Amino acid sequence: MARKKTAVDFEQSLGALQTLVERLESGDLSLEESLSAFEQGVALTRECQQALTQAEQKVSQLLEQDGQLTTAPFAEDAQ
């Protein structure tokens, strides 16, 4: 179930990031609103990058077992 949550979180973060970019590109925000939106965008970008990195690590683990599709837990999963 954690996999679905991660995928949903990634999709939600990506959608929110797209909305922020559109708001920033519109030019209708004040300087303070723009800075706040930019700060939120940086945080969302980091979340998305972390989710992509985790997905890449899982794929690597699947492919590195002599062609056998087996998985090994991440250090984070063990916590």
The tens digit of pLDDT for each residue in 47-58 reads 999 999 988 888
24/63 Cα distance (integer angstroms) = 40
45/9 Cα distance (integer angstroms) = 12
Q: For 45, how many CA atoms within 13 A lie in the half-sphere containing its CB? A: 8
Q: Which CATH architecture has domain 2-74?
A: Orthogonal Bundle (1.10)
Q: Looking at the predicted structure, is the pLDDT value of residue 78 above 50? A: no
Q: Take residue 26 and report the two structure tokens written for it.
A: 């519109």
Q: Higher confidence at residue 7 or residue 53? A: 53
Please report, for the chain, the start and end positions of each structural domain, with discontinuous segments joined by +: 2-74
pLDDT at position 9, please? Answer: 86
CA distances from 48 to 17, 31, 36, 41, 66 (A): 9, 25, 18, 10, 30
Note if the pTM is more than 0.75: no
